[in-house]
Structure 1
């Protein structure tokens, strides 16, 4: 039968061997000198031999004690290093964030470095999925979701409405009639998201009468697919300006009119009701709200005010 190791006695032995003094070892261990003497006697009784020679100047390791002291000292140093590693792991907090791939790639991930600089002890794990996460089952701390904000039994905070701009490939607009006002977009094939609502809302918001041509055209489930179709010259697309910024800068797309407008749906921060009690969740939510406000200020710095009726 295995017997338990006399951990305290071995630890005391190491300290006395290092300091050569009962009193100094007691101070290092924050115990009394009597307690140190007792542990040394217990260990010597356990191994059946003397480990120290008592001298007027203190204690000196015997040949047996000197033979095992270096290995025990190294072992306790490694134990101390292991405990320190565990403390560091405990101090490092992990946060799992779930959102759709387009939002993660075009908006969240490019900004995430600023969060890491502000909170280096919080490790963020981003899950890009189009599925609505079950926060408890999937162990998700924060979900950034695109919709109408209806998420029962969860805490929901409106983040921002994507700012839509009309874009097209340079070749398409160069080969056709000029686009000088929103009405002119109806002379082109229109590309839609899966809801097929944004073009009608955008045209109405800019004073264009209801027109059946606003409903025609191909529809795409993902904004990246919508952008790729526009790049291929298949028609005009209304896309979030953040998603198309790189393509516009590279000349693969052009913004055909300076008429930004909020999408019908908005992005929401979704958490469990008790999640905000955790410091790392609270820090991330406050940071992402701050970033969203910066995005909105940038997008609408030179655009007309948004009437309340257009907000989600």
Structure 2
């Protein structure tokens, strides 16, 4: 498996996702040696990767585009992992490197765990700061507040954190990571157990969201971001490629409306590139799809259909406001979005 969705490994017995090796944090007080500072750090992502997509959504909602610059890797990797072949001359124009691995090596040679996104890189030194995909977005929400845009939402409100953490833990185990355990299963029993777990949790989430617009509270939180990045990929890659095919997402009325609601909310759908998503999964995971053929479907037109979730109430941004337009140089080109 590629290192596209956090450090991970799979074998004959069970798919396992290893913890991030570089867990330094960028904080307001700089206690790990990395203080919050405008323009100092570069966020490296793949638009194919659900874990990196969390950081893209959070950065947009909080208005951190000017504070944290963005590097987008090619969705197709080679033996050195994430590469900057989308940029002129195959180099990131800010870091000056061809491969994200160069920033990892600048930080620690012969480091364990592979090269994963999202990654925050220190621009002055060219060194990786962190690849802790679980913590980066929480810190964007809580440590970077001095650089948030006016009207930025509170994505991790203190009074709701215990509930948010519980929901996120369940979603991570059964959905975010569950689709990978399903897709990379190496025997029938392992596959069936993982697949049943995915759909059992999706059914529980459907029940939860039948009467409430968002997962926790009455506005968007980190929990919604983490569920969205898996759901938006479900029919495009997880249903077929990972054999999570008991039902399509479009066959679950509640979850299909919920994910369309988020997709149509500024900061969510405008970060999604279905072309990158499909090409990465189907062309990089050669153990699952040895031909490298990328399917033509599914039809993407349904993402713009009205969802009517506003009838449940709720305020997407709480006391805040929507983010502004996507910076021109960060727009997802057609046909990446419907």
TM-score of the aligned structures, taking structure 1 as reference length: 0.29
In proportion to residue count, which structure has more helix? 1
TM-score of the aligned structures, taking structure 2 as reference length: 0.28
